[in-house]
Structure 1
Amino acid sequence: MNFLDGISRGVLGEPAFVLGIIACIGLIVQKEAMERVIQGTIKTILGYILIQIGASAAGVALGNLSLLIQRGFQVIGIIPHNEIIVALAQINYGNYIAWIMLFGMVIHLLIARWSPLKYVFLTGHHMLFMASMLAAVLAVSSLSKWKVILLGAVLLAMAMSVGPAVIQPFVRKITNNNTIAVGHFNSIGFVIAGLIASCFKSEHKEEKETPLPGFRRFQVLFQDHILSTTLFMFILFLLAGFFVGRETMEELFFSRPPIVIAVMQAVWFAAGAYVILMGVRMLLSEIVPAFQGISEKIVPNGIPALDCPILFPYAPIASIFGFLFSLMGGVAAMLLFIMRSNQYTIIIPGIVTHFFSGGAAGVIAYRIGRKRGLVTACFVHGFVITFLPYFLVPILSGLGYVRATFGDSDFAIMGFFTKWILNFFLTL
């Protein structure tokens, strides 16, 4: 168990370390000079750490926004939040999770080596999330431990291999090449966004990213995505503060004036988004060339599948509007729950999920269907990723009743599929 804990929490639990090792091995295989190996390894790790730092800074603002939305709508419900639900799964099924991750990665690499699915899933934390979900669903069954582990590993490998493949046609249209893929378990959500945006595809292709109609007077501001992000979040916090009220705002933020709160939260978020973009650029500039060395030896023509923020630099403004309209779709789904359900089955939009998945969906939708495609596709995307977790909650019975569930579309889809496979085996 110490060895497995070392793998799941020490090696696979540190994606930056894993990517650094991959970069180092890749550069050594290519017989690069020692200084180039050191440079590439450190910059790869540094790039991923910058993404984490940016996500943490942006997450502070997003967490505060989520709190304001809950207070503003006066709702108590279930929040799709991967980290919370995984922490519970680790307590109950840590042994299963470690084995599923280990064997799942081995099977995944075999699939990449010997099948047309040449994608190598490198988003370590999402691998942990999916392994945790699979363990929570399978471990409560009457199957023996090793059958649970083997079935979970096969399903995890399948998800890591198929997920990037179904998104790749849209990713190629964004990057204009086939050198990277997206390894993020919201592939169904991205496909939905891409398909809907395709309905708005126009023959006239804009060369530059432009704001939505009605914002043309502020064209100069929107040409700088950091300024536009700051203004966008400032307006969003002001609106949230309006619904909550001045007294509640001051109570939550230590008696600070609402205008100061809105400004500082907006700047925190924009700073986090800026650091994420810088980290993505640094990571891609190092990991893609280095990965070619490994792919030649282990997975010929292999394509690294990285987390969805790698799409943000291709249309930064679209990623922000994608977040906005995805969140609006999530709020619409929440209102539907309020009207048709009791308070304990309301799914509250997960702000972090909508930021990352909605932002990437915004880039996909904008590059395919432009402005109309972005608005429609991201709204539907947000509705879907808020609605699907409702059906996943009863499947996670092994964790007991908790006010959290997995976000992103693939967790719900894999949960349904795993339950169906499990029932099939039990009836044999």
Structure 2
Amino acid sequence: MEYLLRLFGTPAIIIAFIAFLGLCLQRSKVSAIIRGTVLAFVGFVLIKTGGGILGGVLTMFSDLFTHAFGLRGVVPSNEAIMALTIDKLGRPAAIILFFAMIVNIFLARYTRFKSIYLSLHLVVFMAFSVTAALTGLGYSEFFCIVFGSLVIGTYMAVFPTLLSRFSRKVIGHNDYCIAHAASTSYLAASYLGKWFGNTSVDVEHVTVSDKFSFLKNPDVATFLTMFFLLGISSLFASNEYMDGILKQQPYLIWLLERSATFAGGLFIAKKGVVLFAEEIVPAFKGFSQVVAPGAIPAVDPMVLFEKSPNAVLIGFLVSFFAELCCIALFPLIGLPIIIPGILASFTCGGTAAIFGNATGGFRGAVIASFFNGLLLCFLPAMVLPLFSHLGVNGVTFADPDFTILSLFIKYTFGLVH
């Protein structure tokens, strides 16, 4: 089961297989099949590589920030809680993943919800959270598999399709749409931008003085953002902690290199997105003609980052600020402190700002990303008791879609069982 989870939890493998199958079904030349399959695979591996670099720097920053300001609380981390519970939940989660894919394809073929969810690593996390929630309420493994397969498979088809109404505003077409575990946040972001924003001021077209024209380059802006965040946090950390991080490296060199590493990771990921998008979209047409005519691929939101670099940075900072507000608020209202998940702040906050900007300009981006930050704290805090039976302390599930579904399970199935 662990091997099955790893295989289906590797998006690059699924992407390469779909590209290969699609090109074969189109009866492309052998050279075109090899080229398309390899480039689709390489593109997604670059996205993963860039994401891994980003995650490494953000994890280090999260630890530094927590130490510097003396924070103690629960860390939302899908990867961590999955690793700690794989022996308990791995078998039903793998089965749910398999049948959820079948349900997704069936709905894409026979209903108006034409999205096929390709961010399968996120489906693995959702399968774990559903299984954990239901077993905690006393439901059997068989019920977990049936319920999880139907609900998650339906989610995989429906939510990217609903979100495509707004994602096409960013992408410019509907050849692909977005599949992510914060789709509820992005839908809310789009409506918040529409209701309270102002499209006359696009965050990507904000006028910058010639003195600060270097900020127009997204790589430079990304570097300076991380330089500032790391620099401020390190000022409040103890000398002993910083010595452990620096490992005899000069402080300024460490600060410059980590900031550059973060900017480089995002650069690599964005280049991978370009390769991926150029190959998977035309190849997917051949795949969908046989499997589900009219279906469109639903992919990771990082494909949007190249189109809206300013929104990504603003969304990251505003979402992170909202999470800091929650740290101050939660002890006053009796909720456990949720340590900001920096990677989620970056990915989900940045994407929420992109959608908020698409419907409500600069104001919409700020409102949307702030609301996203609140979701990233309030939802994990509310469902934390539901996962106490796992015996895992200090960590919980992170993304809004997982936690909202867990809340639904808690307040519906919990009442009747």
TM-score range normalised by the length of the shorter chain: over 0.9
Residues 221/397 of structure 1: CA separation in 2 closer, same or farther (3 Å cut):
same
Q: Within 5 Å, which residues of 2 pair with 1:105-254?
A: 105-202=101-198, 204=200, 209-211=204-206, 216-244=209-237, 248-254=241-247
2:351 equivalent to 1:360: yes
Q: Tell me by how many angstroms 1:245 deviates.
A: 5.2
In structure 1, give the amino acid aligned to 2:36.
Answer: G
* Distance in 1 of aligned mates of 2:3 and 2:111: 30
Q: Tell me by how many angstroms 1:175 deviates.
A: 1.0
Q: Tell me by how many angstroms 1:36 deviates.
A: 0.3
Which residue of 378, 384, 394 maps to 1:387?
Answer: 378
Residues 376/94 of structure 1: CA separation in 2 closer, same or farther (3 Å cut):
same
* Distance in 2 of aligned mates of 1:155 and 1:247: 49
Which residue of 344, 348, 353 maps to 2:339?
Answer: 348
Q: Secondary structure at the match of 2:31?
A: helix
* Distance in 2 of aligned mates of 1:67 and 1:99: 35
Q: TM-score, normalised by structure 1?
A: 0.92
Q: Tell me which residue corresponds to 2:42.
A: 46
Q: Secondary structure at the match of 1:309?
A: helix
Q: Secondary structure at the match of 1:120?
A: strand
Report Cα offsets for 1:176-200 as digits up to 9, x if no partner: 2111111111011112222222235
* Distance in 1 of aligned mates of 2:253 and 2:362: 32
Which residue of 257, 263, 267 maps to 2:256?
Answer: 263
Q: Within 5 Å, which residues of 2 pair with 1:63-102?
A: 63-102=59-98
* Distance in 2 of aligned mates of 1:41 and 1:305: 18
Residues 210/298 of structure 1: CA separation in 2 closer, same or farther (3 Å cut):
same
* Distance in 2 of aligned mates of 1:313 and 1:260: 28
Residues 425/38 of structure 1: CA separation in 2 closer, same or farther (3 Å cut):
farther
Q: Secondary structure at the match of 1:313?
A: coil
* Distance in 1 of aligned mates of 2:303 and 2:60: 25
The size of the alignment, in residue pairs, is 417
Q: TM-score, normalised by structure 2?
A: 0.94
In structure 1, give the amino acid aligned to 2:388.
Answer: S
Residues 322 and 378, structure 1, Cα contact 8 Å, conserved in 2: yes
Q: Tell me by how many angstroms 1:41 deviates.
A: 0.3
In structure 2, give the amino acid aligned to 1:260.
Answer: I
Q: Within 5 Å, which residues of 2 pair with 1:288-299?
A: 288-299=281-292
Q: Tell me by how many angstroms 1:417 deviates.
A: 1.6
* Distance in 2 of aligned mates of 1:28 and 1:63: 41
Q: Secondary structure at the match of 1:116?
A: coil
* Distance in 2 of aligned mates of 1:299 and 1:187: 23
Residues 241 and 258, structure 1, Cα contact 8 Å, conserved in 2: no
Report Cα offsets for 1:106-126 as digits up to 9, x if no partner: 112111111111110010110
Q: Secondary structure at the match of 2:306?
A: helix
In structure 2, give the amino acid aligned to 1:290.
Answer: A
* Distance in 2 of aligned mates of 1:338 and 1:263: 36
- Greater CA drift, 378-387 or 139-148: 139-148
* Distance in 2 of aligned mates of 1:186 and 1:107: 21
* Distance in 1 of aligned mates of 2:376 and 2:173: 28
Report Cα offsets for 1:270-327 as digits up to 9, x if no partner: 0000001001111011001100111111111101111111111111122122111111
* Distance in 2 of aligned mates of 1:330 and 1:243: 19
- Greater CA drift, 88-97 or 279-288: 88-97
* Distance in 1 of aligned mates of 2:211 and 2:169: 29
- Greater CA drift, 45-54 or 147-156: 147-156
* Distance in 2 of aligned mates of 1:188 and 1:379: 14
Q: Tell me by how many angstroms 1:203 deviates.
A: 5.5
Q: State the percentage of identical aligned residues.
A: 30
Which residue of 279, 293, 298 maps to 1:305?
Answer: 298
Residues 136 and 387, structure 2, Cα contact 8 Å, conserved in 1: no
Q: Secondary structure at the match of 2:116?
A: strand
In structure 2, give the amino acid aligned to 1:305.
Answer: A
* Distance in 2 of aligned mates of 1:280 and 1:402: 36
* Distance in 1 of aligned mates of 2:63 and 2:226: 15
Report Cα offsets for 1:340-370 as digits up to 9, x if no partner: 448xx21111011111111111222223322
2:394 equivalent to 1:403: yes
Q: Tell me by how many angstroms 1:14 deviates.
A: 1.8
Q: Tell me which residue corresponds to 1:417.
A: 408
Q: Over aligned residue pairs, what C-alpha RMSD do you find?
A: 2.0
2:284 equivalent to 1:287: no
Residues 250 and 258, structure 1, Cα contact 8 Å, conserved in 2: no
Q: Tell me by how many angstroms 1:88 deviates.
A: 2.0
In structure 2, give the amino acid aligned to 1:417.
Answer: F
* Distance in 2 of aligned mates of 1:158 and 1:218: 51
- Greater CA drift, 216-225 or 35-44: 216-225
Q: Secondary structure at the match of 1:150?
A: helix
In structure 2, give the amino acid aligned to 1:209.
Answer: E
- Greater CA drift, 225-234 or 136-145: 136-145
- Greater CA drift, 165-174 or 250-259: 250-259
Q: Tell me by how many angstroms 1:5 deviates.
A: 4.6
In structure 1, give the amino acid aligned to 2:127.
Answer: A
Q: Within 5 Å, which residues of 2 pair with 1:308-323?
A: 308-323=301-316
* Distance in 2 of aligned mates of 1:164 and 1:410: 12
Which residue of 265, 273, 286 maps to 1:272?
Answer: 265
